[in-house]
Structure 1
Amino acid sequence: MDFETKGIFSSGTNKRDDLLETESKWEIFSPVSLIILCTMSILFIRSAQAYTGGNQWQMQVIWVIIGFSIYVIVSVVDYHFWMRFAHIIYVLGVISLVLVFLWPQKYGAQRWIDLGLFKIQPSEFAKIVTLILGASIMARSEIGNLKDSLKGICKLGFCFVCPMFLIFKQPDLGSTLVFPPIAFSILYVARIPYRFFVATALLFVVIIGVLGYDVFRYYQYKSENPHPNEAIVAYEDTTLIPLKDYQRKRILTFLAPEVMDPNGIGANWNRIQALIAVATGGISGKGLGNGMQAKLGYLPSAVAHNDFIFAVLAEESGFVGGMTAIAAYFLLIFGCLKVASKASDRFGAMLAIGVSVLLMTHVFINIGMTIGITPITGLPLPFLSYGGSFLISCFILLGLVQSVYRHRKEFR
């Protein structure tokens, strides 16, 4: 498809005034949404940590300043620059994922490179470099019928499987699950024949069935054994599904909470407390700093300011605050999709839609686990959850989208 005359999602020709209108809206909505979300982040991280003496909100201010500076730099650089060096930055990203295994485990996982003054979580940046290389591969691939497209699909598959495997081994199932939607968004923009998506959907159903059987068998095996800890070790030695015990527990707790945690004091505790926080927030909330779940420790301080920051936000600012955050996300994601539809080439369109899908996946899973419609995975909420690596990576992603529309051929 000729992206200079036809948008990826439209059938008509682009008009200059339409393009200007789209870019004008993006320039307005993008900064406004970022300001809203980053301000909320600092306020509610401070609120969540107010009674534990934490200084995370101060660190978040620093990360916001650094992230926004990088966002400006990335937006100024022509996005085709990253296409030329896609393989190099991808290799560096994969190497960083290997390096995490040189550091000792923390909280039962090896996800960080500890540099003393601060820690880096390479998996967040691996999402970016994988998106860039994946978009670069498919932008250069010849797409026709399914047979002609297989070479590009196989290259894309290898590009995504490598970081997914390393991240899964950390273990970080939540981040691993973010990669497939990004890959499919790239394939969609590449105009891969729909038969591929149908076949993949069927394969996905089979995988879900196998995982479901594994989790059910795990529960049976554990409940029938008088020594649960020994049963866990024995089961993990015999199963071919490489899930950890806590990952199976999370899935089972989501599917059957009344069986796994009937009293709500075990694996289901955080989920119940998050639901209470959201439910008691009402329309306008209890007021900044007046939330009881985090203050009294019912929502543990270890997760209140990151994975469950939306619960703190909803309790203290209510339905109004929650919907304000969701509206800000909608504007960001919709803006990314609009930029993708107006991109002048496939690479730009793939970058923009990949970013929108990545953000959408994080938002859906995080808010979903807070209100109880998805399992707890530990995925942070873009621009709201505490964390330097994730926040900076989100700014880089939006900087790439900004670069896509800034460097359209019409304005060169």
Structure 2
Amino acid sequence: MRKNETILDNIDWSLILLYFVLTILGLFNIYSASYNEEFPSLFSFSQEYGKQIIWIAVSMFLGFIVLLLESDILWKYAYWFYAVCMLLLIAVLFTREINGARSWLGFGSMGIQPSEFAKLGTAIAISAYISNMNIKLQSQSSAFYANLIVLFPMALILLQPDAGTFVVFTSFLWVFYREGISYDFILGFILRLIPFVDHTRIKIGSNFIPLLIVSGILVVSTLLLSQTTIQFFGMTLPGFWGLIISISVFLILALIVARITVMLRERKKLYYILIVAAIASSSLVFAVNSVFDYLKPHQKERIELFLGLEEDPDGKDYNRNRAMAAVGSGSFLGKGYHKATLASPQQGHVPMQSTDFIFCTLAEEWGFVGGILVLSLFVVLLFKIIQIAERQRSTFTRVFAYSIAVIIFYHLAINIGMTIGLAPVIGIPLPFFSYGGSSLMSFTMMLFVLAKLDSERKNVFR
């Protein structure tokens, strides 16, 4: 930084302004969603809206502390911050269960959710690793360690279990894709298990988007068949075995067709591809079925309800049905601030309406127009982050920017999706809107770290 420049000279204040607007809108929505007539003041610190003001103040304080730091501190101590986050994720496994999961560390009457900070820690660690000049993501070892940085916290979060945060961590795949990571090491590992197959002859590189689409279809199909059975030569098998048998039949038919129609010099390579695809698909089916069996009963019920395997409008899927009713009742222009009926805190019609289902309060009070305006603010924020990412000369800053962009996008899409019935209820807060300190502090630090890094974009440090 030049000596004649102040710390705040090069800050992109449009990013900070978007943060303030979203945070203030979030506060007033929490005030409406959890309003208590006995404590009408916004500054009633015994109520959620009063506590949220404290969390906003703490978050902003941390944010401005970040602006005072030198940027190179972030990558110098990236792995230390990541290590602390991982230790907190391990520590939380030894705490008591709250709502079926071990996700909180309590400090007296206060508590934090380490998994929220683990997103930030992982984003910083990934950025530091990829920005290392000795790292080439096309190499097997570099790709392996990059994925390990993400997979380790995912494994710890799965043990809690916290399905929502686990899903959010898969967003880092898109960051890897943007940076051109090669997944040939996974393909090579699978091929080594197959006798007489030369694993060096098949490459997929970073072009795994079609594989993700096929994988998604297999995952949904496996879940749809999870509670069914099939008859196969007099044996009763779990329904997912129908997929395994279908994959095997397809493989045999494809090999026969390849032998008849494909030239000899191309045939062996095609055999490799077909066999690997069949093994990978079968392995995915087994893995999804195993993970589904591991889930808590209420998590299984939510997935089954989302997939239409159960109908229970006022039972197990009560939260989502009530939230959808509240959103629909807002119509085009809404009922007005503090005039919600279904999403009214006095009615208690929608559970968790100040946290996971905060969007239904906004939608009922401000209608379709209000919902679109808030969504537009989030879209502007995401485009702003991507714009910042693309103007960087620093690999560290670019990777970090894309990391927080996909994290925020996942939170936004899943939270609103589960409120309007397009996604299963897996417990994900809406950034800057949902009540809670851990989420707000984490997202605040993400944006302020990005603002700090961007302010020194002319001085490439890594």
Q: Which letter does structure 2 place at the counterpart of 1:398? A: L
Q: Distance in 2 between matches of 1:100 and 1:215?
A: 33
Corresponding position: 1:110 with 2:102? yes
Could you tell me whether the CA contact under 8 Å between 2:129 and 2:135 is conserved in 1? no
Answer whether contact 2:93 2:159 (CA < 8 A) is retained: no
Give the structure with the larger helix fraction. Answer: 1
Partner of 1:240: 290
Tell me the alpha carbon deviations over residues 28-79 of structure 1, each in whole angstroms, 9 at most, x when there is no partner: 2x23322322222221212111258671010111111111121122233233
**Structure-2 separation of matches of 1:358 and 1:341:** 17
Instruction: Indicate yes or no: 2:94 matched with 1:99.
Output: no
Aligned with residue 13 of structure 2, among 20, 24, 27: 27
Any residues of structure 2 matched to 1:99-248 within 5 Å, and which?
Answer: 99-140=91-132, 142=134, 146=138, 149-185=139-175, 187-192=176-181, 195-199=204-208, 201-202=210-211, 205-206=214-215, 209-210=218-219, 212-214=221-223, 216-218=225-227, 240-241=290-291, 242-248=294-300
Structure 1 portions without partners, runs of 5+? 1-22, 222-238
Q: Given that residues 113 and 119 in structure 1 are in contact (C-alpha distance below 8 angstroms), is that contact kept between their aligned partners in structure 2?
A: yes
Which residue of 2 is the match for residue 65 of structure 1?
57
Please tell me whether Structure 1 or Structure 2 has the larger radius of gyration of its CA atoms: 2
Aligned to 2:413: 364
Q: Which amino acid is 1:33 matched to?
A: L
Match in the other structure for 1:14: none
- Counterpart residue type for residue 205 of structure 1: V
Secondary structure of the corresponding residue to residue 386 of structure 1 = coil
CA distance in 2 between counterparts of 1:83 and 1:411 reads 12
Can you list the C-alpha shifts for 1:108-139, whole angstroms capped at 9, x where unaligned? Answer: 11100010131010000001111111111111
Whether contact under 8 Å (1:160, 1:183) holds in the other structure is no
Instruction: Measure how far apart 1:200 and its partner are.
Output: 6.7
Larger deviation: 212-221 or 126-135? Answer: 212-221
Given candidates 44, 52, 66, the residue that maps to 2:29 is 44
CA contact (8 A) 1:127 1:179 kept: yes
Deviation at 1:143, TM superposition (A): 6.1
Asked if the contact 1:90–1:130 (Cα under 8 Å) also holds between the matched residues in 2, the reply is yes
Paired residues of 1:109 and 1:170 also in contact (CA < 8 A)? yes
Please state how far the C-alpha of 1:204 moved relative to its aligned partner: 6.6
| C-alpha deviation, 1:88, in angstroms | 1.2
Q: Distance in 2 between matches of 1:211 and 1:385?
A: 29
What letter corresponds to residue 188 of structure 1 in structure 2?
Y
Q: Is the 8 A contact 1:339 1:352 kept in 2?
A: yes
8 Å contact from structure 2 (residues 323, 350) kept in 1: yes
CA distance in 2, matches of 1:208, 1:79: 43
Q: How many correspondences in the alignment? A: 363
Instruction: State the percentage of identical aligned residues.
Output: 31
1:293-319 superposed Cα distances (whole Å, 9 cap, x missing partner): 13222212xx10000000001101112
Whether the aligned pair in 2 keeps the contact of 1:60 and 1:388 (CA below 8 Å) is yes
* Match of residue 380 from structure 2: 331
Contact 1:74 1:399 in 2 (8 A): yes
Q: Which amino acid aligns with 2:71?
A: Y
Letter in 2 for 1:84: K
SS at match of 1:114: strand
CA RMSD of aligned residues (A): 2.4
Distance of 1:267 and 1:179 partners within structure 2 = 27
Matched, 1:289 2:341: no
Comparing 347-356 and 324-333, the one that deviates more: 324-333
Question: Residue 352 of structure 1 contacts residue 400 of structure 1 at CA under 8 Å; is this kept in 2?
Answer: no
Match in the other structure for 1:19: none
The DSSP-based 3-state class of the residue aligned with 1:372 is coil
**SS in structure 2 of the partner of residue 316 of structure 1:** helix
CA distance in 2, matches of 1:389, 1:145: 32
Instruction: Tell me whether 1:299 sits opposite 2:350 in the alignment.
Output: yes
Separation in 2, partners of 1:66, 1:338: 28
Give the aligned partner of residue 78 of structure 2. 86
Contact 1:289 1:316 in 2 (8 A): yes
- Pairwise CA distance, 1:155: 0.5
Shift of 1:250: 1.2
2:393–2:460 contact (8 Å) kept in structure 1: no
TM-score by length of 2: 0.73
Summarize the Cα distance change of 1:209–1:183 in structure 2 as closer, same or farther, 3 Å threshold: closer
Structure 2 Cα separation of the partners of residues 145 and 307 of structure 1: 36
Given the superposition, is the C-alpha separation of residues 200 and 333 from structure 1 closer, same or farther in structure 2, using an over 3 Å criterion?
A: closer
Q: Structure with the greater relative contact order (CA < 8 A, sep ≥ 6): 1 or 2?
A: 1
Q: TM-score, normalised by structure 1?
A: 0.82
| Counterpart check, 1:268 vs 2:317 | yes
